[in-house]
Amino acid sequence: MRQDRRPYWVKKAYLRFRHWYSNHFLAPACDSLGSHHTFMKPWYIAISGPNIDIGKCATIIAEPGNRVQIGVWGREANQGRISIGDYVLISPGVRISAGDEIVIEDNVMIANGAYITDSDWHGIYDRSARSKAVTPVHIGKNAWLGDGCRVLKGVSIGENSIIAAGAVVSRDVPANVVVAGNPAVVVKELDTERAYVKRSDFFADPEGLELFFDGVDAEVLAQNGFWNWLRGLIAPSRRD
Of residues 19, 36, 37, 122, which has the active-site annotation?
Answer: 122
- Rounded Cα–Cα distance for residues 115 and 134 (Å): 19
Strands 150-151 and 168-169: parallel
Give φ, ψ of 85 to 5 degrees: -75, -165
Residues 6+ apart with CB under 8 A from 17: none
Residues 6+ apart with CB under 8 A from 73: 49, 80, 97, 98, 99
Is residue 122 annotated as part of the catalytic site, yes or no?
A: yes
Give φ, ψ of 22 to 5 degrees: -60, -45
- Backbone torsion region of residue 7, taken as left when φ is above 0, otherwise alpha when ψ lies between -120 and 50, otherwise beta: beta
- Rounded Cα–Cα distance for residues 52 and 26 (Å): 11
Q: What 3-state class would DSSP assign to 178?
A: strand
Which positions are catalytic?
122
